Structure 1
Amino acid sequence: MNKPIRTLSLFCGLLFLVLLGNATYLQYFKADSLSKSSLNRRVIEASFARERGAILVGGEPVARSVKADDRYKWQRRYPQGPLYAHETGWFSFFSQSGIERSQNQVLSGDDPRLFARRLADLLGSGQPKGGSVELTLDPKAQQAAYDGLQALGQGIQGSVVAIEPATGRILAMVSLPSFDPNRLASHDLSRVSKADSRLEGDTAQPKLNRAIRTTLPPGSTFKLVTAAAAIENGLYDAESMVPAGAGYQLPQSSSVVHNSTGSACNPQQITLKYALEWSCNTAFAKIAVKLGNAKMKKMAEAFGFNDTALTDLPGEVQSVYPTLNEPNTALSGFGQSDVRATPLQMAMVAAGIANGGIVMTPHLVDELRSPDFDSLDKTNPTTYRRAISSATARQLTDMMVGVVEEGTAATAAIPGIRVAGKTGTAQTGRSDISNYAWFTSFAPADDPQVAVAVMIQNSQRSNGEISGGGLAGPIAKAVMEAVIGK
């Protein structure tokens, strides 16, 4: 064999080995991930040929499949559309999101735990079906949260999250503006493409789940974290006298911090409890400086900042408490500077206090079931981390009850029920961007069943009309009432 032929033979042999290696890699090592990929059209078309399982809330379907008189055989329907859109997501030929994506294997029937059922369907005459997913959401709480945000009027941008403190079950998760997932699940692919383009081009970002993907300064709701750090580090307790005053010049700065509650915070010395009740910025700025950035950051992280905790719904972003210099540490004491939080994060702060200092891992999926309604998996409550001691949690609870009964959160009061709460209004410092209204709470204070966080990002109101107690407090009240049955 002459040299050119030998070289060509070796080259062809090498190409064959590369081809063989690639085929082995794709069919063995990558087969599972490729079959699960949202871009795999063959798998998606196969999914449309069989009945996809339902997504349930309170035993009722909020996503289900119905027979279709076209090539795809089954049509995905979302009976209550925008109410659960950010949780269910959508299932279309082009893409999937939310629970439709994270629990796709069960819903499509491809989960390994459904192998016996698939085999029986193959050997028998039964039609293949997917399993169902039961969510933790409370339909009354979800509706109360949605209606509360809607009542604020056109152009509202905001979110509500409610958690069961003892378990981490998410009882409500609403983000406005919302969208109709039915328009993205149509079999008319041209209409789907146009609907998606309109949603993507909407500056209000209706597809954005603000509950877990929007981080904003939490304002005075973050004073709960500052107060927790002060008590845990032995600096103060609820009845300790703390420095306050009408103004506070930031260290190494000419900027002055002021209060937004009139003259209530003007005395030079007040109790920590009173400072929380009347949301005294000067007091919490001074406390944060005295604690220092390291201790403030450690406490924030104990509640979940700089981390994510939600694993069964895609897309959660981290709430942020960064390393700060002294003047910005002062501002962080009342939730300003570069502190950023999601509504889920602030609900976790309230839930941790309500649960004796233990933050439970938040979860949205309650149970996975086979097409025959046999349980495949049940989510058991797990501890995310202990943020504070039970003694500190009791002090903070009493202080938060004082906020509702004596201070700035009267709008969340429920007759006959002790409610613990905290208002917050985060300043944007810009005339073209509205301030943010926050509220976080739990009830009953003596036996907590629900912890709530409400965030109003844009209410189409002037900054003088925006406050956590005025806008967000009544929504939190309605959600708590829905859960506890008032």
Structure 2
Amino acid sequence: LQQAAYDQLVGPGYEGSAVAIQPSTGKILAMASNPGYNPNDLMGDSAEDVWANLQEQEGQPLVNHAGAETLPPGSIFKIITTAAGLNNGFNPSSTLTGSNVITLPDTVTELTNYANQKCNGQDAVTLQTAFALSCNTAFVEMSEQLGADELRKYAKAFGVGENYDLGVSTSAGTLGDLPDGAATAQSAIGQRDVTMTALQAAVMAGTVANKGTRMQPYLVNRITDSQMKDIRTTKPKKADQAVNEETAATLTDLMYASERSSAGYDGNGFASKTGTAEHGEGLAPHVWYVAFDPERDIAVGVVVKNGGNLGESATGGKVSGPIGRAILRAYQGEQ
């Protein structure tokens, strides 16, 4: 599975990372990033030169990008916003705006849907349609009713801002400050100061898959002595109850609808959410895909930086979705 994840990134020459976890335990099944390096090159007479070149190389190959690089998540964060909404009076049939543009609270700043389009071509849509088609204006409207405190509560419950102790370098990500309604609205769609790692994205998807229970991720399954007798075995540990089982089931249904609406959908039974995150004027977006296979106890988080090979026209569905689906299909489960 590790090889499959690595090949999916390196084959097309993408910069990015992919993580697969087992939702029921938190066990990390694969953690790959590109660019990387071959540790065998750090042997022999040329080791010092290789090390120096790696430190100067673009893309920071020495960094564990999957766990340590935080990036704006874009619309995959709407899983968290929706979780807050479902526990504050919203349901999949709730009506939200489908307008192509909305003014941020207490400002004259306008925020638009992707490609400045109406959501499903309509002035009003259900939450299910807004989630499946990732309509920004609907979630801005939802955020006005939720408020900053609820967004903070659910972001924390899903692990945003938590730095996991894995024995390798990791970063916490952040929701950022939410001083007013405009900041809350921008953050509700995974923009402004919101950041996550691919590991945190996989954990988020795995939390939904695990009926709302977030498990502590871990890399080391067991430590043995020289005779292969166990010295210590990692026991799965609950990190938080992000949402109850009913809310997780509703989120799962919404993620099924999102997968069916995603570019590249091929009739699979996965539950997913895509994200296309802006991170600077004139720069190609970072594109995300989170998903899980309810039949095989695996969840994935994938991010490809700077649009991959599609530049500014890239979306999570077009670029990261195929990677995530390939990883899900490569997993054979426990034998």
Contact 1:358 1:383 in 2 (8 A): yes
Report the equivalent of 2:192: 337
Query: Which one of the candidate residues 306, 326, 329 is aligned to 1:458?
Result: 306
Q: Are positions 1:251 and 2:105 aligned together?
A: yes
Contact 1:449 1:483 in 2 (8 A): no
Report the equivalent of 2:35: 177
Report the equivalent of 2:264: 411
Q: TM-score, normalised by structure 1?
A: 0.66
Equivalent AA in structure 1 for residue 278 of structure 2 = Q
1:399-451 deviation per Cα after TM superposition (whole angstroms, max 9, x unaligned)? 1001112x1x24254x4x421000100012322x321000000003xx45110
C-alpha distance in structure 2 between counterparts of 1:386 and 1:236, whole Å:
20
Equivalent AA in structure 2 for residue 251 of structure 1 = P
Percent identity over the alignment is 35
Q: Are positions 1:437 and 2:287 aligned together?
A: yes
What are the ranges of 5 or more consecutive residues in structure 1 without an aligned counterpart?
Answer: 1-140
Report the equivalent of 2:24: 166
Give the structure with higher Rg (CA). Answer: 1
Report the equivalent of 1:148: 8
Contact 1:285 1:332 in 2 (8 A): no
SS of residue matched to 2:257:
helix
Contact 1:179 1:206 in 2 (8 A): yes
C-alpha distance in structure 1 between counterparts of 2:308 and 2:323, whole Å:
17
C-alpha distance in structure 2 between counterparts of 1:484 and 1:291, whole Å:
40
Shift of 1:321: 0.7
SS of residue matched to 2:70:
coil
- If asked which structure has higher relative contact order (CA below 8 Å, sep 6+), I would say 2
Report the equivalent of 2:229: 374
Query: Which one of the candidate residues 137, 146, 151 is aligned to 1:282?
Result: 137
C-alpha distance in structure 2 between counterparts of 1:403 and 1:387, whole Å:
21
Shift of 1:266: 4.3
Equivalent AA in structure 1 for residue 26 of structure 2 = G
Contact 1:441 1:476 in 2 (8 A): yes
Contact 2:177 2:193 in 1 (8 A): no
Q: Are positions 1:318 and 2:318 aligned together?
A: no
C-alpha distance in structure 1 between counterparts of 2:143 and 2:198, whole Å:
22
Query: Which one of the candidate residues 385, 388, 392 is aligned to 2:247?
Result: 392
Q: TM-score, normalised by structure 2?
A: 0.94
- CA change 1:380–1:301 in 2 (3 A) is same
1:97-116 paired onto structure 2 within 5 Å: none
Equivalent AA in structure 1 for residue 27 of structure 2 = R
Shift of 1:227: 0.3
How many pairs are equivalent? 331
C-alpha distance in structure 1 between counterparts of 2:265 and 2:216, whole Å:
26
C-alpha distance in structure 1 between counterparts of 2:291 and 2:310, whole Å:
25
Shift of 1:264: 3.4
Report the equivalent of 2:330: 482
- What is the alpha-carbon root mean square deviation over aligned residues? 1.6
C-alpha distance in structure 2 between counterparts of 1:452 and 1:218, whole Å:
14
Shift of 1:255: 1.9
Shift of 1:351: 0.2
Shift of 1:460: 5.2
What are the ranges of 5 or more consecutive residues in structure 2 without an aligned counterpart?
Answer: none
C-alpha distance in structure 1 between counterparts of 2:296 and 2:84, whole Å:
22
C-alpha distance in structure 1 between counterparts of 2:76 and 2:298, whole Å:
17
